[in-house]
Amino acid sequence: MAPQVDLYAALKVAEQNDDKEAIVRYAILLATQLLKERLTLDSLRMLQRHDAVFLLADSKKLLSRIAVIILSELEDFTWSGEGGESFGGGEGGGQRTSVYAALRDCFCTLLTTNSSLNVIERSLFEKYLLISHYLTEKAILEAMIREQEGSGNGGGGGGGKGGISNFRELHLKISVSLLRYTDVIRADKAFYEAGMAARGANRPEMAFVFLNHFLDLLDAIEEHDLNVDHSDFVGTDIPYEVPLPSAPYYDQEVVEGVKSWILQMSMDTELSQSLPMDPLREGEVYEASLINADGSQCLPCLVTGYPVIRHKAIEFKAGKYAANKEDWNRLLMLAKMSESSGDGESSGGGGGGGSDQQLKAVLHFVGRLCGNATIVKFSFQ
């Protein structure tokens, strides 16, 4: 392989000459080299900038490896600047939003343009796409919750049902749904965040179960023991076996805070220490599980990941993509609220800009995914 500096030069010349074949060739080589040098975000940015690479078979393995690193291993989302223009979104949460959005968009392009995908690959990449989509939404909502709390609107937000309770409700559901994917994302981080989201949304029974399991996972990580008690999640679609990281994600102060809260709540004799059941489905079915009592499966809501209830659903693509009407209307309401407040600048197609542009980008993505551009119009269902 040519030295990396030569690849950059060669790519620049190819772009100047509008040599599409050479652009694709050098872009895939550069993205591969950047990943080998552990510049994961730069590698992803290179693929995003030159999405014709997804026509190549080599792009499947490359993007899959990038996804595994970002979704399960990466802690520092600071872009080094080696792969061209930045993702946008600034530092911290904004950058994280932009990275998840870029990963989501790359998988969408791969799935719609690469004809060499087999059934197993397509299923895996659709899973990665959904995970990155939910993580994008979650990061946007976390930023909006912080903004609302910082402005003193913690109780009401924009007033009525459009207040912070809507932010928290969507954020909670997404955080809980992500537990379904702890065979891909970090389990300790996912359970902690779901537990804290449940606490913030005044769902102490869910918070107790999730944070208690978070502590079980920490014990397993420290003892290098893969046998984690899964009894609270029998009959759900939360994975039994998940990969454990080599070290905990959170520091001891956070852990002690969780232990103190668990101890306090365990003394409450009126608190249910089990997962809540779904009153709208037959049998004893955990509210966030896609698996019904008879073994059949619900579609995941494109807004929250929660099971789509048939008589309350909006179907975007028959048998493939749908949303719960109430959550879809919540998302539209929040997008309208953010737009009317004039929050942020244009973000283009990614995750940068203010919350209004980020939520618009989510709506545009749903339209693109479902092949229906009219979805992005602000029409309540």
Question: What is the DSSP code string of 335-371?
Answer: HHHHHHTT-S---TTTT-S-HHHHHHHHHHHHHHHHT
Taking only the tens place, the pLDDT of each residue in 162-185 is 467 888 999 999 999 999 999 999
- Asked if 67 contacts 107 with a C-beta cutoff of 8 angstroms, the reply is yes
Among residues 312, 311, 306, 315, which one has the least CA distance to residue 325?
Answer: 312
Residue 332 pLDDT exceeds 50:
yes
List residues bridging with 315 in a β-sheet. Answer: 322
Residue 362 pLDDT exceeds 50:
yes
Per the domain annotation, does 180 fall within a domain? yes
Distance CA 194, CA 373 (A): 32
The more confident residue out of 356 and 137 is: 137
Reading phi first (left if > 0) and then psi (alpha if -120 to 50, else beta), residue 157 is in left
The count of other CB atoms within 10 Å of the CB of residue 12 is: 12
Helices of type H across the chain: 4-16, 20-36, 40-49, 58-68, 93-113, 119-150, 164-177, 187-200, 204-223, 252-266, 325-340, 355-370
Residue 349 pLDDT exceeds 60:
no
Among residues 131, 20, 26, which one has the least CA distance to residue 83?
Answer: 26
Domain count, the chain: 1
- Can you read off the two tokens belonging to residue 278? 């779904």
Question: What is the DSSP code string of 322-334?
Answer: EEEHHHHHHHHHH
Q: Which residues contact 294 (CB under 8 A, 6 or more apart)?
A: 282, 283
Give the pLDDT confidence score for residue 82 in this predicted structure.
58
pLDDT band with cut points at 50, 70 and 90 for residue 307: very high
Distance CA 208, CA 235 (A): 19
Distance CA 276, CA 259 (A): 22
Taking only the tens place, the pLDDT of each residue in 84-138 is 555 555 444 578 899 999 999 999 999 999 989 999 999 999 999 999 999 999 9
Mean pLDDT (whole number) for 248-266 = 95
- What mean pLDDT is reported for the chain? 86
Per the domain annotation, does 316 fall within a domain? yes
Q: Which residues contact 16 (CB under 8 A, 6 or more apart)?
A: none
- CA-based angle 66:133:38, to the nearest 5? 15
Per the domain annotation, does 143 fall within a domain? yes
Per the domain annotation, does 10 fall within a domain? no
Taking only the tens place, the pLDDT of each residue in 10-62 is 999 999 998 999 999 999 999 999 999 999 999 999 999 999 999 999 999 99
Mean pLDDT (whole number) for 141-160 = 67
List residues bridging with 286 in a β-sheet. Answer: 277
> Which residue range(s) make up the domain with 342?
87-376
Distance CA 63, CA 68 (A): 9
Q: Which is it for the CA torsion 29, 34, 38, 39, positive or negative?
A: negative
Give the pLDDT confidence score for residue 79 in this predicted structure.
59
Length of the chain: 381
Q: What are the φ/ψ torsions at residue 314 (nearest 5 degrees)?
A: -115, 120
% of residues, the chain, pLDDT over 70? 83
Give the pLDDT confidence score for residue 216 in this predicted structure.
96
- CA-based angle 33:38:44, to the nearest 5? 70
Per the domain annotation, does 42 fall within a domain? no
Give the pLDDT confidence score for residue 6 in this predicted structure.
85
Give the pLDDT confidence score for residue 91 in this predicted structure.
42
Q: What are the φ/ψ torsions at residue 240 (nearest 5 degrees)?
A: -70, -50
Give the pLDDT confidence score for residue 270 in this predicted structure.
86
DSSP reduced 3-state for 42? helix
Per the domain annotation, does 77 fall within a domain? no
Give the pLDDT confidence score for residue 360 in this predicted structure.
86
- Asked if 218 contacts 171 with a C-beta cutoff of 8 angstroms, the reply is no
Burial class (CB in 10 A: 0-12, 13-18, 19+), 340: exposed
Per the domain annotation, does 12 fall within a domain? no
Per the domain annotation, does 67 fall within a domain? no
Give the pLDDT confidence score for residue 335 in this predicted structure.
86
